[in-house]
Amino acid sequence: MATAKRIPDTISRILTPGGQKELRDRQARDLAERQAASTILNPGEVAGDYDARRMLMTTLGGQLRPLTVDDLRQLAANARRAGKRFKGGITAKDVIELSLREDRERASREIKVALPVRAKGDTILFVTNAGPDSDVQRHHVTVAFDGFGAAVASPSPVAKLARSVLAGPLKFDCDCGRHRYWFRYIATIGRFNAGRDEPGFPKIRNPNLRGVACKHVLRTMERISKADAGIALFVQRAIAQAREDLSRGRAVTASKADLREAAQRQIGATQRSTGRVLTAAEKAKRAAVRKATAAMKPDAKAARSVAAVERHARTLAGLGLITQGQLTAMLKAVSKAARASNS
Ligand SMILES: [Zn+2]
């Protein structure tokens, strides 16, 4: 089949069955390890009920060292701030906005697909490829859409409903280590956690509670925020199913052919520069640079106008992409060229 050729092996391998058993096994292992863990800092302790003989460690301030009573106050303040930041729910776009740049860059570079494999009620299970340094082949991202129930009951056209479900608030979970150790606590206090709760403060990995999502979640959110055609269709099927079967007991599942098709389309979409995971500010900056650079090419129509070139050069300087010296040189060159063409 001609279409099969274009899917690289790393993606082809994740289209094989067994994903749900793999996810259940990972969840069971995660829970067992968590229950056996002896160095968890619990909420009561953060609130002040901490016995210093426990000798828990933290990286607050940059160095790994024993936790002090002062630290607890700082951790409690961090938790309160994070709780406030997420009041009112979180959308796919918000997740991207609140993420760390390093996670967005990893998602852009390494994670090519986020494929919907199963929907049950308001919850869709996505499978993504793993990064190149991972010891597993895929990760599972669970997303629960807050607007799903209302969409099931709404008389609006189902395509429109699917788009509004994807644009609305959601909850999520990932089975990778980054989510587990850095972000699950934040998801729990922010109330956008679609997996098990994590009341233990990430005192070593993420004491300042920075960021919000791993690269697998970010690629999934990038696709959701763009209302990826395959994902939108999957939501439509889930809405139709839920209208038929009020118990939400039956699942919508993707066939292997569905997955191949979705993978192919997403590989195409995420390889283009528009498939990068970027915040609104990053997108605006890239657009400004693109426009300015294009306008300054000698053959560009806009370059005939000295004023336009000057404006774009100032834009680049304003964004810090060229120095003041470069700007001055550029403006000099432009006026020289203008004089030459006028003479
Ligand atoms: Zn992850």
pLDDT band at 177 (very low <50, low <70, confident <90, very high): very high
pLDDT in tens, 287-321: 888 888 777 776 655 455 777 778 888 888 888 88
Measured distance CA(330)–CA(328) in Å, rounded: 5
Q: Report the C-alpha dihedral over residues 215, 219, 225, 227, rounded to 10 degrees.
A: -160
Helix (H, G, I), strand (E, B) or coil at 320: coil
Measured distance CA(179)–CA(217) in Å, rounded: 9
CA of residue 139 to ligand 1 center, whole Å: 7
Beta-carbon-side half-sphere exposure of residue 65 (alpha carbons within 13 Å): 7
Closest CA to 86 of 75, 73, 95: 95
CB 292: neighbour CB atoms within 10 A?
23
Mean pLDDT value across the chain: 89
Is the predicted pLDDT of residue 343 greater than 80, yes or no? no
CA of residue 127 to ligand 1 center, whole Å: 10
pLDDT in tens, 12-35: 989 887 778 899 999 999 999 999
Measured distance CA(220)–CA(9) in Å, rounded: 20
CA of residue 224 to ligand 1 center, whole Å: 16
CA of residue 178 to ligand 1 center, whole Å: 6
CA of residue 262 to ligand 1 center, whole Å: 20
CA of residue 238 to ligand 1 center, whole Å: 24
Closest CA to 233 of 99, 115, 336: 115
Measured distance CA(179)–CA(80) in Å, rounded: 20
pLDDT in tens, 105-128: 999 999 999 999 999 999 999 999
CA of residue 292 to ligand 1 center, whole Å: 36
CA of residue 264 to ligand 1 center, whole Å: 22
CA of residue 116 to ligand 1 center, whole Å: 15
Q: Of all residues in the chain, what percent carry a pLDDT higher than 90?
A: 65
CA of residue 46 to ligand 1 center, whole Å: 27
CA of residue 105 to ligand 1 center, whole Å: 14
CA of residue 205 to ligand 1 center, whole Å: 15
Measured distance CA(208)–CA(74) in Å, rounded: 9
Helix (H, G, I), strand (E, B) or coil at 161: helix
Measured distance CA(18)–CA(15) in Å, rounded: 9
CA of residue 81 to ligand 1 center, whole Å: 24
168 or 245: which leads in pLDDT: 168
Write down the pLDDT at residue 333. Answer: 79
CA of residue 38 to ligand 1 center, whole Å: 24
Q: Report the C-alpha dihedral over residues 94, 130, 208, 33, rounded to 10 degrees.
A: 120
CA of residue 140 to ligand 1 center, whole Å: 8
